[in-house]
Amino acid sequence: MTLTGHSLIAGQNVVGDGKTTFGFNPATNEALEPAYTLLTEEQLKAATTAAKEAFPSFSTLDPETHAAFLDAIADNIEAIGDELIIRAGQETGLPAARLQGERARTTGQLRLFANVVRQGDFRGVRIDPAIPDRTPLPRADIRQRQIPLGPVAVFGASNFPLAFSTAGGDTASALAAGCPVVFKAHNAHPGTSELVGQAVTKAVKDAGLHPGVFSLIYGPGASIGQALVSDPAIKAVGFTGSRAAGTALMKTAAARPEPIPVYAEMSSLNPVFVFDGALKGDVDALAAAYVTAVTGSSGQLCTSPGLLFAPEGEAGDKLAAAVARAVAACAGQTMLTEGIAGSWTAGTEALGKADGVELLGQGRPGDTRNAPAPTIFGTGVDQFVSNHVLHEEIFGAASLVIRYKDVQDLLKAAGRIEGQLTASLHLTEADYPTAAPLIPVLEQKVGRIIVNGWPTGVEVGHAMVHGGPFPATSDTRTTSVGTLAINRFLRPVAYQNIPQELLPEALQDTNPWHLNRRINGDVVPAAEKAEVSA
């Protein structure tokens, strides 16, 4: 496929009237061709206007046409072949195996949402039939379904050039809901974004959909991003990135004449709690697994464990020593950009200078540019509780081991942490009484609790929650991974005493879309021919 260096607006290549930018190979800091032209705020209007025009027809697609469209995007991404993996590797420094897995996750979640569309439960059909002879007052016929919000702005993430990018989870779930997408490409991997954008655009055209269903735009992050969120055609935002950028978008969305929801996944330290029983096993293996979770993808994962709580005493000392040995054997991996590597350096320097913090272990720098040495620090609970610097996320291969005396220390520390995506507990059955009081505290702090596992590696399925209280996300009620992510882009509408001829298909008595429905409060499977009556 040929890279043009231009935005894709409603199926057309559009040369930006603004400045130009390049993708860079972070292993060498060399610019990658082609140059990408950036849109002005005036040019952005073409994308949002087209999305608004596409909404009426796209939001009312029949399930099979809709699902086949999502399947086609997945097929088209796979058809790009090795070209996609090579370009993504050049722009991010990520190894081919990691990117191949990410591509599989991207296409897998598109096909998962296609199945969600075919099955139809996300439409939330509820029917309370009329009871005209009810006393003292009759009941009207009331029916409810979930409808799409409208065009959605999606921002690409730096650390997932495929799975949280052009056709990633936010785009897939918004399209599955029936919402056109205006996608703001991350300037760190513009070529990867364009390749996938071409695949989505082809699927739109082949399905005969309005071309405004999808647009891919390039522009300065601050100005174009803010203009996109401010545009009255946009009805919701999906974002994965830094806390500063996420909160800036939230403020813009809240200040609009018509405020809109921003579903932002931001910062997380993902604490790990190690109990005494876990230290009676293979401590070296436990330490190695922890260091692997910290250093995988150069630590540039939203679920990388930035904190590990270990008990004081001899067993905890052995774990700390094993962690130091494990990280000393590690070499730095190329980080996504020169700027991200610089932020990592600044963050580790600040943490290393904090009172009561010591260097526990350090690896060696990698052989490429922007590949700093993985680093793990150590401190105590009192220092952690009292110093806000120890609560700041360091995006990259760095973590902090915190030593605790007893469960009261753990409860104190857990109560102090901000909202997180995950918390992990390593324990044996003998530790259950000690760990039990921690569970309800963590429920208020995180979106996912893990036992005897590590937070990295997020399963894309029906039960997954990839979210959490602020600042992990902007809305603790939602998830950005899994089929529940579709709910972010829907809202309920009730229809009272509407004639059958005017009802949408999902609510008609004949159930032409073969949906599971809740009638008079009882779930009626699509396969059953239930009479809609009181």
Q: How far apart are CA 399 and CA 74, in angstroms?
A: 36
Q: What is the pLDDT at residue 528?
A: 74
pLDDT, position 534: 59
pLDDT of res. 532: 73
In Å, what is the CA distance from 404 to each residue of 382, 452, 457? 9, 19, 27
The answer, yes or no, to whether residue 530 has pLDDT greater than 70, is no
CA 239 vs CA 146, 246, 260, 521, 531: distances in Å: 23, 7, 13, 36, 43
Cis amide linkage into residue 63, ω under 30° from 0: no
Q: Which amino acid is at 406?
A: D
Distance CA 311, CA 21 (A): 50
Q: Using an 8 Å Cβ cutoff, are 161 and 192 in contact?
A: yes
> pLDDT > 70: what percent of the chain?
99
Contact present, 304 and 421 (Cβ < 8 Å): no
Model-level pTM?
0.96
**For 126-157, what is each residue's pLDDT tens digit?**
999 999 999 999 999 999 999 999 999 999 99
Classify each residue of 143-168 as buried b or exposed e, where b means 16 or more C-beta atoms within 10 Å of its C-beta. Answer: bbbbbbbbbbbbbbbbbbbbbbbbbb
What is the 3 state secondary structure string of 78-134?
A: HHHCHHHHHHHHHHHCCCHHHHHHHHHHHHHHHHHHHHHHHHCHHHCCEEECCECCC
Rounded mean pLDDT, 269-282: 97
| Rounded-to-5 percentages of helix, strand, coil across the chain | 40, 20, 40
Q: Are 164 and 157 in contact (CB under 8 A)?
A: yes
Judge whether residue 485 has pLDDT over 70.
yes
Mind listing the domains of the chain with CATH numbers? 7-130+140-266+480-487 (3.40.605.10), 272-451 (3.40.309.10)
* Residues 97-116: tens digit of each pLDDT: 999 999 999 999 999 999 99
Comparing CA positions, the residue from 400, 339, 396, 401 lying closest to residue 365 is 396
CB 79 within 8 A of CB 71: no
**Distance in angstroms (rounded) separating the CA atoms of residues 424 and 426:** 7
Amino acid at residue number 153: A
Residue of 215, 242, 244 lying closest to 231 (CA atoms)? 215
Mean pLDDT of 56-80: 98
In tens, the pLDDT along 225-256 reads: 999 999 999 999 999 999 999 999 999 999 99
Span 315-367, pLDDT tens digits: 999 999 999 999 999 999 999 999 999 999 999 999 999 999 999 999 999 99
pLDDT at 494 exceeding the cut of 90: yes
Q: Which residues lie closer than 8 Å to 201 by C-beta, 6 or more apart?
A: 8, 11, 211, 214, 216
- In whole angstroms, what is the distance from residue 84 CA to residue 87 CA? 5
Q: Which residues pair with 522 in a beta bridge?
A: 519
Instruction: Please provide the average confidence, as pLDDT, over all residues in the chain.
Output: 97
Instruction: Calculate mean pLDDT across residues 259-269.
Output: 97
pLDDT of residue 188: 96
pLDDT score for 529? 65
Q: What is the mean pLDDT of residues 164-184?
A: 98
User: Is residue 181's pLDDT more than 70?
Assistant: yes
| Residue of 6, 77, 86 whose CA lies nearest to 46 | 6
Query: Which residues neighbour 6 within 8 Å (Cβ) at sequence distance 6 or greater?
Result: 13, 14, 15, 16, 36, 37, 218
What's the pLDDT score for residue 527?
A: 83
Contact 482, 461 (CB under 8 A): yes
Report the first-to-last Cα separation within the chain, whole angstroms. 58
pLDDT tens-digit readout, 276-326:
999 999 999 999 999 999 999 999 999 999 999 999 999 999 999 999 999
In this prediction, residue 221 has a pLDDT band, given cuts at 50, 70 and 90, of confident
Q: Which of 421, 423, 404 is nearest to 412 (CA)?
A: 404
Residues facing residue 146 across a β-bridge: 492
> Cα(21)–Cα(5) distance, rounded to whole angstroms?
9
As annotated, the active-site residues are 265, 302
Q: Which whole number is the average pLDDT over 46-58?
A: 98
Q: What burial letters (b/e) apply to 251-278, b meaning 16+ CB within 10 Å?
A: ebbeeeeeebbbbbbbbbbbbbbbbbbb
